[in-house]
Structure 1
Amino acid sequence: MIAVENLSVSFGSDAKRRQVVKNVNFSIARGETLGIVGESGCGKSTVLRSLAGLDRHWTGDIRLDGKPVDRERSLEHLKLAQMVFQDPYGSIHPRHRIERVLAEPVRAMKIGDGWDRVAAALEQVGLPASFAERFPHELSGGQRQRVAIARALMLEPQILLLDEPTSALDVSVQAEVLNLLSDLREERGLTYLLVSHDLSVIAHMCDRVLVMKEGEFVDELSSEDLASGTTHHPYSTTLFEASYI
């Protein structure tokens, strides 16, 4: 479903030019969840933004569902992969009612007004349809992140790009959101790329994980490796020792 070859991303120019992603390669099978883990600033969110079409500084080859994508995305490609952002407080417009937040992607793609899909979208993420009339400040952090997930699903994508989807939430709410994502993947046959610095989140969600350090992948771990704490690189060992797994 996702195939990436020699993906590089640089910012700045001349002496200030900085390469933040360095010729990375990976693929994700249909229905699989791949995790990318690493310290803040290592380039993992930049990989997601390149796949989502939000960052156009990349070079290399990106294929979604077998089709090559350009830096300028077609509507078809934009609908294929949608993103859930880290901060449910910042990713939702504070002055828009929830119904408008959810309808906006449909309207932006010019495939309808979106209003008729709002109630079902809320219910699929465990929220009552009556929440459509509320403003974001009337919802808890966990409820806002459920709205963000519902918004990402409005265009019926096959791929969800998850950027630290629980890191801004209370620990008591994190498991609920992760379980919701697991259920949605199974029900809809979705493919996930999940970025996190939290190995417990990665272990809960992912079939495989790539360990990223300074813009490069230095290790690949299977679900069995995650369960047993097996690593193949000193940096991965350091991450495990710093976690609660």
Structure 2
Amino acid sequence: MIEVSNLSVSFGSGERRKQVVKGVSFQVAKGETLGIVGESGCGKSTVLRSLAGLDRHWEGEIRLNGQPVERVRSREHLTLAQMVFQDPYGSIHPRHRIERVLAEPARAMKTGEGWDRVAPALEQVGLPAAFAERFPHELSGGQRQRVAIARALMLEPEVLLLDEPTSALDVSVQAEVLNLLADLREERGLTYVLVSHDLAVIAHMCDRVLVMKDGLFVDELDKSDLARGETHHAYSKQLFEASYL
């Protein structure tokens, strides 16, 4: 579903030019959940933004569902992969009712007005259809993140890009959102790329994990490695030990 070859991302120019992602390559199979873990600033969110089409500074090759994508995406390519952001308080317009928030992707991509899809979209993420009339400040953090997930699914993408989707939520609702994402993946045959610093979240959700350090992938772990806490690189070992202190 996702093929990335020699992806590099730099910002700035001249002496201030900084290479954030340094020629990484990876693949994600259809229906798989790939995790990317690493310390803040290592480049993991930049990889996601490049996949989503939000960042146009990248070089290399990205293919989604076998189709090569350009830095400036067509509508068709934009609908293939949608993103769920870290902060449900900042990613939803505070002055728009939930129905407008959910209808906006359909209108932006010119696939209809979107109003008829709002109630089913809310119900599929476990929220009442009546929430369409509410404003974001009337919802809890977990409810807002469910709205953000519903919005990402409005265009029926095949890939969801998840950037720390539970880190801004109370521990009590994190599991609910993760279970919702797991159920949606099963029901819709979705492919996920999940960025997180929380190794417990990664171990719960992911089939494979890439460990990132200074713009490079230094280790790859499968589910059995995660279950045993087994790593193949000193940095990965350090991450695991720090997370369980």
TM class by shorter-chain length? over 0.9
AA at the equivalent of 2:76:
E
Q: Give the drift of 1:244.
A: 3.0
RMSD of aligned C-alpha atoms?
Answer: 0.7
The corresponding residue for 2:219 is: 219
Residue 72 of structure 1: how far off its partner (Å): 0.5
Corresponding residue number in structure 1 for 2:70:
70
Instruction: Say if 1:81 and 1:159, in contact at 8 Å, map to a contact too.
Output: yes
Q: How does 1:150-229 map to 2 (within 5 A)?
A: 150-229=150-229
Q: Which stretches of structure 1, 4 residues or more, deviate above 6 A after TM superposition?
A: none
* SS of residue in 2 equivalent to 1:5: strand
Per-residue deviation at 1:117? 0.2
- Kept in 2, the 8 Å contact 1:9–1:59? The answer is yes
Aligned to 1:104: 104
Name the aligned partner's letter for residue 85 of structure 1.
F
Structure-2 residue corresponding to 1:91: 91
Aligned residues: 245
Kept in 2: contact 1:200–1:244 (CA 8 A): no
Equivalents in 2 of 1:200, 1:40: separation in Å?
17
* Aligned mates of 2:233, 2:17 — CA distance in 1: 28
Instruction: For residue 113 of structure 1, report the CA deviation from its aligned partner.
Output: 0.3
Q: Secondary structure at the match of 2:166?
A: coil
TM-score, normalisation: structure 1 = 0.99
Identity %: 84
**1:22-41 alignment, distance < 5 Å:** 22-41=22-41
Q: Which residue of 1 aligns with 2:49?
A: 49
Cα drift, residue 172 of structure 1 = 0.6
- Are 1:146 and 2:117 an aligned pair? no
Q: Deviations over 1:148-167 (max 9, x none)?
A: 00000000000000000000
Q: Residue 125 of structure 2 aligns with which residue?
A: 125
Q: Distance in 2 between matches of 1:3 and 1:187?
A: 23
Counterparts of 2:186 and 2:40, CA distance in 1: 30
Distance 1:140 1:20 in 2: 34
SS for the counterpart of 1:41 is: coil
- Cα deviation for residue 243 of structure 1 reads 1.1
Q: Where does 1:10-21 land on structure 2 (aligned, <5 Å)?
A: 10-21=10-21
Matched residues in 1 for 2:124 and 2:30: separation?
22
CA distance in 1, matches of 2:181, 2:148: 12
**1:211 Cα deviation from its structure 2 partner:** 0.1
Look up the equivalent residue of 2:10 and give its one-letter code.
S
* One-letter amino acid of the counterpart of residue 187, structure 2: E
What secondary structure sits across from 1:183 in the alignment?
Answer: helix
Q: Identify unmatched segments of 5+ residues in structure 1.
A: none
- Code of the residue aligned with 2:60 in structure 1: it is G
Question: How many angstroms apart in 2 are the aligned matches of 1:79 and 1:198?
Answer: 28
- Please tell me the residue identity of whatever aligns with 2:227: A
The TM-score with structure 2 as length reference comes to 0.99
Instruction: State the alpha-carbon separation in 1 of the partners of residues 242 and 132 from structure 2.
Output: 41
Aligned twin of 2:234: 234
